[in-house]
Structure 1
Amino acid sequence: MRFVPTSEQEDFTASLDRLLAGADTVAAARGWAEGDTAAGLALWRRLAEQGVHALLVPEEHGGMGASPTEMVLALELVGRHAVPGPWVESVAYLPLALGSGPVVEALAEGAVGTVAVAPHVPYALDADLAEHRYAVVDGALHAAEAGEQHTSVDGTRRLFSVTSASPAETAGDLDRAFDTAVLATAAQLLGAGERILADSVTYVKQRKQFGREIGSYQAIKHQLADVRIALDFARPLVQGAALAEPGTLSRDVSAAKLAAADAAYLAARVGLQVHGAIGYTLEFDLSLWITKVRALVAAWGTTAFHRDRVLAALVAEQEVGG
């Protein structure tokens, strides 16, 4: 299957890419990690004006009624530009988990929402500043309050314990919401991996050693080529999962998350190696993407969990097929 975006999708992503390229997302991310969320929230509101938050919200609830494909395109750019904030929670999970109501309409307009879904998402992202906080308890969505803050390897991922309160009124599908959040995480990983590769290619063309650009050495070329291949193999899995039917959705999003996580992690390892000692410093911007990849690999389900899901689905399909 060949995935070719429509002209409308290309225009949408081009508009978002221009907006994010013109914004100082690195400064916004660094400020967010230090607790200064003003710049990040300003960017959050600008993207809400572009309709990103409303993509999966039905038109009758103030949304765009778009497909998961548009969500994947948008979240890949969020990952590519290291935009801070609870994007997966607000854009992918909660609109589908809640289904309808005033909170869904508020999320479509740019309200900040977050959720903890134990055991896969034990802490709620940015719960201290979220206007709508939730936790899944015993398979049901509950309103929640923010508690103790926890440290993440990615400084922009501000994690909080939450305590559940009253059950939330929902008309959505929590299983589909979880799978959509997994898909959104895969899209972010894909975007982060692409950014690390692009920055690494630029660097090896500039850095000289023994009178030659280090990118001219075969060992460097081969490592970067391996990253390019891994990302190119992950992309159709992510795009295909966005088009998956309900019967194969869980299997397909898990496969997409696995491929995107492996590709992005390889990009991070190679990017760190070709940058040398400078790549280890937090002051260097590459660290924003390297630490984000490390955190997202385990977010919304570990590698082991998703491998088990894919295996179980394949075994079940084989048994049905005889």
Structure 2
Amino acid sequence: MKFVTSEEQQALAQAIDEIIESAGEMTIARDWAAGSMASGHALWAQLAELGLLGLCVDEADGGMGGTAVDLIVAFERLGYYAVPGPYIESAALLPDLVDSAVLGGIVDGSIVATGAVPGLVPYALDAAASSHSFVVDADSISRATSGPGITSIDRVRTLSALTADGEATRLDPTVVALAIDRATLACAAMLLGAGERVLVEAVSYAKLREQFGRPIGEYQALKHQLADVRIALTFARPLIGGAAVELGSPLGARSVSAAKVAAGDAANLAARVALQVHGAIGYTEEHDLGLWITRVRALIGAWGTPRYHRSRIAAFLLSPTR
């Protein structure tokens, strides 16, 4: 299976890049971490106008009617820029689970929605910055209120426990499972984007930083480490693309888990090597590298830990009915 993005998907990625870069790029994440969310909400409105929040929504409901491949193209770019906010929850998890009024608000950007999935995603992301919060169970969804924020390893991310209030709306468990897998796939795409960005930063810095009168990028040992990162990210990409194609099929759950594990491992390797390349400056809060490193660590555990997804893959492989 060969994965080549279409001209439309390339244009979507380019448009997202241009919007984020013109909005301030990494200053948005820094402002969000400092409690100033105006620039983040302004970016949310711009990306909603582009159609990103309606990628998974039918055209009849005001969305883009896109595919899961369109989704991973978009979310890779969000990961590349460490964009803050509950994009996974609003654009990937909730569109098939909420009523039409909420769905319309999500698509046009007037509603910022987040959610928790007990047993998988115990805390909701950025509930204080969201106008709607939901608890999603295996066969139902409930509106919820959020508790105090909990500090994450990624200072840009604030997590909150949710308490369901009101009567739950019953849902088809198959629809819920698909929505959760789609959100997990979006998380994998964000990990890939973050990994690609830290590799770019590491290669760029290796060309500038000198030891013993030579750029450190000229040393063979460092070249090998950067090459290992390139290989890991390149190998993860088709797994994510394959999972997007198989989403909703009998192989979908296995493929999503494989993509999440591979993307997490590749991004983690990228973060570790990038930190070694940067040396002491990479540990400082002033350097942007820390925003990606902590984002990678947070996303690895989000939407299912590596252990959870490896167990899901093993259960499929060992199933007698496979």
2:176 to 174, 177, 200: 174
Question: Residue 136 of structure 2 aligns to a residue in which SS?
Answer: strand
Q: CA deviation at 1:137?
A: 4.5
Q: Aligned equivalents of 1:168 and 1:66: distance in 2?
A: 29
> Which residue is 1:134 aligned to?
134
Q: CA deviation at 1:170?
A: 6.0
Amino acid at match of 1:107: I
Task: Show structure 1 runs of 4+ deviating over 4 A.
Answer: none
Question: Residue 166 of structure 1 aligns to a residue in which SS?
Answer: coil
Unaligned runs of 5+ in 2: none
Q: CA deviation at 1:97?
A: 2.5
Amino acid at match of 2:189: A
Amino acid at match of 1:104: L
**Which piece of structure 1 moves more, 131-140 or 210-219?**
131-140
8 Å CA contact 2:140, 2:171 repeated in 1? no
After TM superposition, the structure 1 = structure 2 runs for residues 133-282 of structure 1, keeping only pairs within 5 Å, are 133-137=133-137, 139-169=139-169, 173-244=175-246, 245-282=248-285
Deviations 1:180-203 (A, max 9, x none): 010000000000000000000000
Deviations 1:70-95 (A, max 9, x none): 11000000000111100110110001
Q: Aligned equivalents of 2:285 and 2:16: distance in 1?
A: 27
> Which residue is 1:305 aligned to?
308
Matching of residue 320 in structure 1 with residue 321 in structure 2:
yes
Instruction: Identify if the C-alpha distance between structure 1 residues 170 and 191 changes in structure 2 by more than 3 Å, giving closer, same or farther.
Output: farther
8 Å CA contact 1:56, 1:92 repeated in 2? yes
> Which residue is 1:114 aligned to?
114
Amino acid at match of 2:58: P
Deviations 1:232-258 (A, max 9, x none): 000000011100052111100000000
8 Å CA contact 1:140, 1:167 repeated in 2? no
Amino acid at match of 1:226: D
Q: CA deviation at 1:320?
A: 3.3
Amino acid at match of 1:175: A
> Which residue is 1:31 aligned to?
31
Amino acid at match of 2:19: L
> Which residue is 2:102 aligned to?
103
Q: Aligned equivalents of 1:204 and 1:54: distance in 2?
A: 39
Question: Residue 199 of structure 1 aligns to a residue in which SS?
Answer: helix
**Which piece of structure 1 moves more, 53-62 or 187-196?**
53-62
**Which piece of structure 1 moves more, 169-178 or 301-310?**
169-178
- Normalising by structure 1, report the TM-score: 0.96
Amino acid at match of 1:101: S
> Which residue is 1:15 aligned to?
15
Question: Residue 220 of structure 1 aligns to a residue in which SS?
Answer: helix
8 Å CA contact 1:96, 1:176 repeated in 2? no
Q: Aligned equivalents of 2:68 and 2:137: distance in 1?
A: 26
Instruction: Identify if the C-alpha distance between structure 1 residues 122 and 231 changes in structure 2 by more than 3 Å, giving closer, same or farther.
Output: same
Question: Residue 97 of structure 2 aligns to a residue in which SS?
Answer: helix
RMSD over equivalenced CA pairs, Å: 1.3
Q: CA deviation at 1:37?
A: 0.4
How many equivalent pairs are there?
318
Deviations 1:90-123 (A, max 9, x none): 110001233x511111111112100011122111
Q: Aligned equivalents of 2:13 and 2:126: distance in 1?
A: 26
Q: CA deviation at 1:155?
A: 0.8
Question: Residue 275 of structure 1 aligns to a residue in which SS?
Answer: helix
8 Å CA contact 2:206, 2:277 repeated in 1? yes
Unaligned runs of 5+ in 1: none
Deviations 1:37-78 (A, max 9, x none): 001111111111110001001112111111011110000000
8 Å CA contact 1:68, 1:242 repeated in 2? yes
- Percent identical among aligned pairs is 50
Instruction: Identify if the C-alpha distance between structure 1 residues 138 and 263 changes in structure 2 by more than 3 Å, giving closer, same or farther.
Output: closer
